[in-house]
Structure 1
Amino acid sequence: ADAREAFAHFPGLRLLDDPAQNRYPMPILVEGQDDCFVGRVREDLSRPNALNFWVVGDQLRKGAALNGVQIAELLISSH
């Protein structure tokens, strides 16, 4: 629950995690969007205090162009 709350309030990240309705992020659903999506959040049974989750995003937008712009904006604002 704490991880879902943190994910839901993190800038640039959207929580889509509704196992009862079989709703979780899929690459086809996030195409053309700037934010990344996280879902399928669950306890990792192989390690104590660990989580497993699924994160997807539009790799052409976020992985290439937008990510570079956001890093540049952050560097400019910190000076």
Structure 2
Amino acid sequence: MADQPGRTRYLTVLEVADVMRVSKMTVYRLLHAGELPAVRVGRSFRVPQDALDHYLATNVTVAEQPEDRGRLSS
């Protein structure tokens, strides 16, 4: 199926987990916590591609640099 302009693509939990490189359980936790919006289809969830893109773009965390660890603040 080719992507059509103006149509939202919906991803399965497994597809979201693959994109995020996390387990399916992590995706389910995000869904149940309301952090990642989804549509319920029967007993399954479908995540809009736009919602996943927005989540990934807005939930960026800057990791602590190794040289910063162990320093005492003056």
On whether the aligned pair clears a TM of 0.5, the verdict is: no
> With CA pairs under 8 Å and 6+ residues apart, which has the higher RCO, 1 or 2?
2
TM-score (norm 2): 0.27
- Considering only CA atoms, is the larger Rg found in Structure 1 or Structure 2? 2
Q: TM-score, normalised by structure 1?
A: 0.26
